[in-house]
Structures are given as structure tokens and as C-alpha cells.
């Protein structure tokens, strides 16, 4: 083994962080509170007040911890209305550089940490508060929800492209479809024409009743209406070949958890269709439409899906006249080994399509 000359200086490697960056990163990780924050941000985004409540510390102290984590590149902020939420940076494996690779290894280690029972209890409370906020809005506005929704994106502009995607993907032996958050039930009628069994899942009793009435008036085939959230639906043993969420995620308390729940309910080879808003800055939708989130980045949705064991499929972008853009994603649960799904053979269209209503 040859040893380097004492006069020879070691050149910095292109696959490692510099000393200053490394020191900053390890210093940020050298605190129990900051490690707990990173662990909590694995599945959700939180504001400083929520994180303070979760970990039982003062807001000023939490703000300091978040500043340290942000400086080290371990968290990033995103404004939602008047609130700033914090999340872990989106790491895309295909184009990850040195810093992203190191962060990915740090997050892998952090995710092995356990969450205490007390923090889990606080987490349930915060998510319950978010859900109750959304449910209260829908209870107040069940009769005029369609008009409110059309201020953002008219139903027909996204329903037709989503139906075309479903028709393209649908396998001949698919029998059961679930729609999460069916609104007034218009899309349920379309699903009932394509599937032997259709289930509507909604945590708003008022909206579920509106959907039931519409489906009865449309003489739709038998539809099972379940007053459940997705976690309860998963626990009940529901399984489906197709799950659809049209303009739902920006209303739910924890979008990533909902995607995880849906993934667990998909049969092998089944598809999850997510139709929602691209991230925007039109804050009036929070009060006017009950939105908890101002849309999502496409990379964010793909990351959540992949973390839930789903494969990324087709993606459509739909331009609407009032300044919003709608994105439609197909995520697939891997088929069992040895099966030959028709839907895997039908992916002939371009993976990224822009549909404009103008």
C-alpha cells in the first residue's frame, strides 16, 4: 500500500461536501429538538406554531431551530396564505447532486428515529383541527360548493381529460372504483357507467348527502356511500382497482397521508388518479373556497407517491382561464410478478401533455 507524500496535499473530492458545509450540516443535526422536527417533516408540512405545539416548546425557540435547519439546507419554507409552512426539501434522485445525496442519507437516518407517544398524540390533535376546519367549511357551504369550486376550476375542464385518461388505462378486469371526496356526485355517475362497483368516500356528511341525492336523480347504478376519511376507509378493508381524487388534496389536513392511505387500498396493478391545482399564490381561495393548501408542486406529488410505493405514470397539465393550472397524475401500484396488465400496454401517449381551455 502506497502512502501519500507528506508534501502532497489531498485534493477535495467531487463527491463530498466541503468542511464548512459539513460542519454547518452536522451542527444543525446535533440537537434533539431539531432531529424531532426533521422526523415530523417526513410526512407533512407544519407552521411554526404547529411545530411548537407538537414538541411543547416556545414559538421563539422553535423559530430559532427552524432558522438553523434552514441555513443548513435541511428545511425550506413555503407560504400558504398568511402562514409560512416548513418542509424538507424535495430531493429528486435522477438529478441529485452532492448536497442532495448527503441530505438524502441524513433523512434516511432521521426517519429511523421513533416518535414518542406524547408527540403522536399532539400530531393527531393538529391533524384533527385541520380536518375539522375543512369539514366545518363544507358543512356551511354544501349547497353552493359547486359555484365556489367553479371560481377556481370549472368541473368540465378537468373531468373530461380525467375520464379520457381512465378509459385509456382501464383494464378489462377492473371492477371496483373509489372516488375520494366526490363533491356533488357528478363524477360518480361517470364511474358507475364504467365499473361494476363504485364507492364514494368522504369525511363530510353534508357533501356525501349531496352526492347521494345527485346520483339518485341521475339513476346511477348502485353506489356505496361511506362517511369515512381515508384512514378509516383503509382500516375498514376497502380495496379498489382505481381510486380517483378530483380537486380534493388541497382541502385535506395531511395530503401525503391521504396518498399513503390510497396506495394501501389499491389492488396490485391498480391506479390512483390525482387531479389538483398547481401551486399558486391566490390566497383568497383559503377563505372563499375552504382551501387548506394553495395547490402543490408536481415534484411534491410524485415524491409522496413514490414514498408510498407507487410508480409514476401519465401526467396532464390543464390550463384554465382564471390563472390557475390543474395537474392530473396517474400513479400505479406495481402488478404482481408474472401478470400482464393491459394498462401497461396502453401507455402510448406522451407522458406530459398540456390542455388549454383558452
- Residues 170-218 have pLDDT tens digits of 988 999 999 999 999 999 999 999 999 999 999 989 899 999 999 999 9
Q: pTM (2 decimals)? A: 0.73
Sign, Cα dihedral of 218, 224, 226, 229: negative
| pLDDT at residue 14 in the model | 45
Q: Is the pLDDT of residue 46 over 50?
A: yes
pLDDT category, 133, cuts 50, 70, 90?
Answer: confident
Sign, Cα dihedral of 334, 340, 341, 347: positive
Q: How many CB atoms lie within 10 A of CB 1?
A: 2
| pLDDT at residue 344 in the model | 42
More confident residue, 175 or 348: 175
Range among 62-66, 134-138, 152-156 rated most confident? 62-66
Q: What is the 3 state secondary structure string of the chain? A: CCCCCCCCCCCCCCCCCCHHHHHHHHHHHCCHHHHHHHHHCCCCCEEHHHHHHHHCCCHHHHHHHHHHHHHCCCCEEEEECCEEEEECCCCCHHHCCHHHHHHHHHHHHHCCCCCCHHHHHHHHHHHHHHHHHHHHHHHHHHHHHHHHHHCCCCHHHHHHHHHHHHHHHCCCCCCEEEEECCCCCHHHHHHHCCCCEEEEEECCHHHHHHHHHHHHHCCCCCEEEEECCHHHHHHCCCCEEEEEEECCHHHCCCHHHHHHHHHHHEEEEEEEEEEEEECCCCCHHHHHHCCCCCCECHHHHHHHHHHCCCEEEEEEEEECCCCCEEEEEEEECCCCCCCCCHHHHCCCCCCEEEEECC
| pLDDT at residue 81 in the model | 63
More confident residue, 80 or 85: 85
Mean pLDDT estimate for the chain: 84
Could you tell me which CATH class the domain 144-356 is placed in? alpha beta
Query: Looking at the domain 19-115, which fold is it?
Result: Arc Repressor Mutant, subunit A (1.10.10)
| pLDDT at residue 145 in the model | 61
| pLDDT at residue 356 in the model | 45
Yes or no: say if 128 and 53 are a contact pair by the CB < 8 Å rule: no
Q: Which three cell numbers stand for residue 243?
A: 381510486
| pLDDT at residue 33 in the model | 95
Cα separation, 93 vs 303, in Å, equals 10
48-72: average pLDDT: 94
pLDDT category, 157, cuts 50, 70, 90?
Answer: confident
Q: Is the pLDDT of residue 2 over 80?
A: no
Domain boundaries, the chain: 19-115, 144-356
| pLDDT at residue 302 in the model | 94
Yes or no: say if 315 and 298 are a contact pair by the CB < 8 Å rule: yes
151-156: average pLDDT: 80
Yes or no: say if 158 and 149 are a contact pair by the CB < 8 Å rule: no
Q: Is the pLDDT of residue 308 over 60?
A: yes
Yes or no: say if 75 and 37 are a contact pair by the CB < 8 Å rule: yes
Amino acid at each position: 500500500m502506497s502512502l501519500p507524500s507528506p508534501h502532497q496535499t489531498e485534493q477535495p473530492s467531487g463527491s463530498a461536501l466541503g468542511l464548512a458545509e459539513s460542519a454547518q450540516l452536522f451542527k444543525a443535526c446535533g440537537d434533539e429538538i431539531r432531529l424531532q422536527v426533521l422526523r415530523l417533516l417526513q410526512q407533512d408540512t407544519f407552521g411554526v406554531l404547529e411545530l411548537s405545539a407538537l414538541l411543547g416548546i416556545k414559538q421563539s425557540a422553535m423559530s430559532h431551530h427552524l432558522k438553523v435547519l434552514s441555513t443548513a439546507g435541511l428545511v425550506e419554507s413555503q407560504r400558504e396564505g398568511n402562514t409560512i409552512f416548513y418542509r424538507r426539501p424535495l430531493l429528486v434522485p435522477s438529478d441529485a447532486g452532492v448536497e442532495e445525496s448527503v441530505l438524502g442519507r441524513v433523512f434516511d437516518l432521521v426517519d429511523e428515529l421513533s416518535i414518542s407517544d406524547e408527540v403522536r398524540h399532539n400530531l393527531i390533535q393538529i391533524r384533527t383541527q385541520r380536518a375539522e376546519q375543512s369539514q366545518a367549511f363544507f358543512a356551511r357551504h354544501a349547497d353552493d360548493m359547486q359555484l365556489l369550486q367553479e371560481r377556481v376550476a370549472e368541473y368540465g375542464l378537468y373531468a373530461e381529460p380525467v375520464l379520457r385518461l381512465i378509459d385509456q388505462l382501464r383494464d378489462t378486469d377492473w371492477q371496483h372504483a373509489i372516488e375520494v371526496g366526490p363533491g356533488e356526485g357528478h363524477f360518480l355517475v361517470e364511474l358507475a357507467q364504467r365499473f361494476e362497483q363504485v364507492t364514494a368516500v368522504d369525511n363530510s356528511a353534508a357533501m356525501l348527502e349531496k352526492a347521494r341525492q345527485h346520483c339518485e336523480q341521475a339513476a346511477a347504478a348502485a353506489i356505496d356511500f361511506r362517511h369515512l376519511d381515508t384512514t378509516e376507509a383503509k382500516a375498514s378493508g376497502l380495496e379498489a382497482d382505481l381510486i380517483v381524487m378530483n380537486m380534493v388534496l388541497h382541502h385535506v389536513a395531511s395530503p401525503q397521508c391521504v396518498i399513503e392511505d390510497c396506495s394501501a387500498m389499491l389492488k396490485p396493478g391498480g391506479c390512483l388518479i390525482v387531479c389538483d391545482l398547481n401551486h399558486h399564490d391566490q390566497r383568497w381561495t383559503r377563505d372563499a373556497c375552504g382551501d387548506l393548501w394553495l395547490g402543490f408542486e408536481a415534484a411534491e406529488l410524485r415524491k409522496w407517491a413514490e414514498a408510498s410505493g407507487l410508480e409514476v405514470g401519465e401526467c396532464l397539465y390543464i390550463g384554465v382561464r382564471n390563472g390557475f393550472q390543474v395537474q392530473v397524475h396517474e400513479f400505479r401500484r406495481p402488478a404482481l410478478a408474472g401478470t400482464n396488465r393491459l394498462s401497461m400496454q396502453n401507455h402510448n401517449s406522451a407522458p406530459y401533455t398540456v390542455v388549454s381551455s383558452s
